[in-house]
Copies of this chain bind each other. A is one copy, B any other.
Amino acid sequence: MKLQEITDQLGLTTLSNKEIVGLNTLNDAQSNEISFLENKKYVNDLKTTKAGAVFVKEEFASLVPASTVALISPEPYLMLAYASKLFAPNFVETAGKEPSIGKNCTIMPNVYIGKNSVIGDNCTLMSGVFIADNVHIGHNTILYPNVTIYRDCIVGNDCIFHSGTVIGSDGFGFAHTKEGKYIKIYQNGNVVIGNDVEIGSNTSIDRAAFKSTIIGNGVRIDNLVHIAHNCVLKDGCILTGQVGLSGSTTLHEYVIMGGQSATAGHLEIAPFTTIAARGGVTKTIAEPKKQWAGFPLMEHRIWLKLQAKIAQLLK
């Protein structure tokens, strides 16, 4: 889509006629993508962005690199939201190739597989499974009844997803107008899941706003877990029942999160960290191999000491 076509629809103006293929963050955007700066905190990323264009407030226009078109607006994030709809794919494709099913698969009745989707060998898809368009699933993967995989998602080999689990539902993202109307940020990314991943029942993993929510190899996820958009779980992570990860949480290798624990998002947790049940992580944990607990979070041994102190209050 030409940049002018986009700006015309948003009530902005530009002289540039660049070809634009999508949206992305300041750090990740390429010369054929648009980005945005809403939060002053990321102003350094603006200075070094390779984006083809950026939505920015007038006050930051002078910081936009020479090769990037500044799209001036008092509401950059709102502009992003409007633009996201222009790049949203169809809800359901009607054209495209019929799905490709590998050898020795068991496809039970009432399974739907969308256009251009590919299922590997020796897979089992039980009734009520929905595979949307352009999904790729590896070999030996088992999908229990009523699992839904949204369009464009990728699942590896040797995975097991239990009933009711949803892969690729839209991340929770929206801008708002001055009048208080919420404008959806279309979640044009996907979910990419590695090999040997088992996911329990009724778990939700949201697709990315841009790029991918990523679940590494060998990850184990229990029931009723919430994983928001753009999370990254590196290999070997374990999430037990009812864990909740806010958007853009990165768990490094072999992080273990206890039942009902959660993260505040936009943070990282170092390898081999253990978060006890109910722990609430609000800041990046940089040092690996430690055990944490509580909300606010503290080292588990400190939390135990604190509980003893609190118990003394009752004396």
Contact = CB atoms under 8 A, between A and B. Distances in A.
Interface string A216-230: 001010111010100
Interface in A185-205: 196, 198, 200-204
Interface string A131-165: 01000000000101110101000000000101110
A110 B148 CA distance: 14
* Number of identical protomers: 3
Contacts of A162: 166, 169-170
A108 interface: yes
B204 A92 contact: no
Contact of A92 (B124, B164, B200, B306): B124
A120 interface: no
A244 interface: yes
Interface in A289-315: 295-296, 302, 305-307, 309-310, 313-314
A220 B181 CA distance: 11
Contact of A146 (B108, B148, B181, B307): B148
A169 B144 contact: yes
A274 interface: no
A126 B305 CA distance: 53
Contacts of A310: 306, 310, 313
B202 A204 contact: yes
Task: Bin chain A's interface residue count.
Answer: 35 or more
From A166, A170, A295, residue with most partner B Cβ within 10 Å: A166
Interface string A225-257: 010100000001000111010100000001000
A228 B242 CA distance: 11
A47 interface: no
A77 to B, nearest CB: 15
Contacts of A246: 240-241, 259
29 contacts: A91-B142, A92-B106, A109-B112, A110-B112, A110-B127, A112-B126, A112-B128, A126-B130, A130-B145, A148-B201, A162-B166, A162-B170, A164-B166, A172-B220, A172-B222, A174-B198, A180-B236, A182-B218, A202-B202, A224-B224, A224-B244, A240-B246, A242-B242, A242-B244, A244-B260, A259-B262, A278-B280, A278-B295, A310-B313
